[in-house]
Structure 1
């Protein structure tokens, strides 16, 4: 009893005593010299604990101990819901919140809830407008230090994270982690409602919204709503076959099979682009467009063709490409019978018949049948030439211009004259050359001489 009382008194005293050890840098107080010493390293930058395997340094022995689990592969903390393992307990705690749905941190400005305190702190910066992290290369400001670190890699070109299976490199460890799932086929994120699996939390979140539009009180209600979800999905899918498009744009009267497609389309008319790239500041109309755009910076092309090995940034791009090998052209023009590999190509073609040109240049008012044509045209006004030759640094406004230019360096001349077998880098040059053989050019020269 004496020992217990003494321990209790000692414990009580530790909380009642003043914090006698004060940091000379920031004035923060600590109960022990050990805590003060460890805190001081934040100011001095001292990292006395070194990893013997990779040389990385740490401010505390605890951090070094946790780091060593990366090398040993030890993950002692296991999720009781899905069996996923973690190196530290905090990561497990954060992960469990994805199963429970709990979001304990609430923003006092807008009442939005977050799973992590760090996410709340970053969110609050969107209200205050504060951007405390500055790029030393270009002076751009960021709300998050992580965003700054990612941005700096655009200047340095460094890609420190390499895939051991295909030697592809990435700027961020998260990109490598996500990429590796393509090789392993791992889909660690499971829907708690229908058990469908996903490679990323983003995919799971998007899918979960189908279920969480409703609150279920009983298992029967849940199963009933799942059946309705499937029926609604099937009903929406059947519109592809029936041709029914009940959602109409109030600006141009174009019709769509789903309300989501209509909403995305309306952004073309309003010009609204709510999704901003943190790498270059470019704004895009949809989250899907932003994800596809970010792959330009990351260089990620995770979808490879099994037949020719060509890689693509998106699965839809790969699907379109595969039809080159299969020869499948399932989209047919009702007016002229011409067939296409994608619905997008068919839609653009149909405008030749209708004369429709829905994409208008804000600078000069010129109209185009396809958004790609407008994008290329706008570069005439802006002077932008985003396609640079790696060998001579000459820049071009279009990828096709760069492709033709590269033939000069590669020595490729794919266009051959059938009369004299002379080769050319461009079809236009071949056509002009052919006039020599046809005699047209000689006649034109004779006419010019007579006129003079």
Structure 2
């Protein structure tokens, strides 16, 4: 039986060639105006200006990126994600308190979204701005009133002129909805069952 040595040994010349081959360094075309540092990306140069030469007159004029400033300290950055991380790590308590600055006077609800806060407050004060033209129903939001028109007064004359939301209709039956997901689910069921408008009474809306 012959035995073969399958282990690989590098040629000495090959090893010498591998060692002597210089590594290609990445190009750094963006040079600092105030020092000898160079950078591979323009954003890195902008951060360098902001962090190391901010006291030099005219340094910030060389920054084309938007500068994001912390409202709690002097920290500034051109990266919005860095600013968010800074607030959470350095000003966690202040940041959490400021993001929930709107507090309900009737319950423990709080939010930083003014629109959501107004809608919530109306539930306590019974303020409803959208009244139905056919009955005594009133709603906090126009989309809720549109849904009411669609399901309670869909056969009233000119009711479609009162609905401002987009209405999704089934071409096989009388089904209508304001919800795109529900419309897609209904269409799938209707098509599978092979209903037509004549079979609309068999189709479950």
- Please, what TM-score do these two structures have when normalized by structure 1? 0.16
Higher helix content, 1 or 2: 1
Structure showing greater relative contact order (alpha-carbon pairs closer than 8 Å, 6 or more residues apart): 2
- Please, what TM-score do these two structures have when normalized by structure 2? 0.32
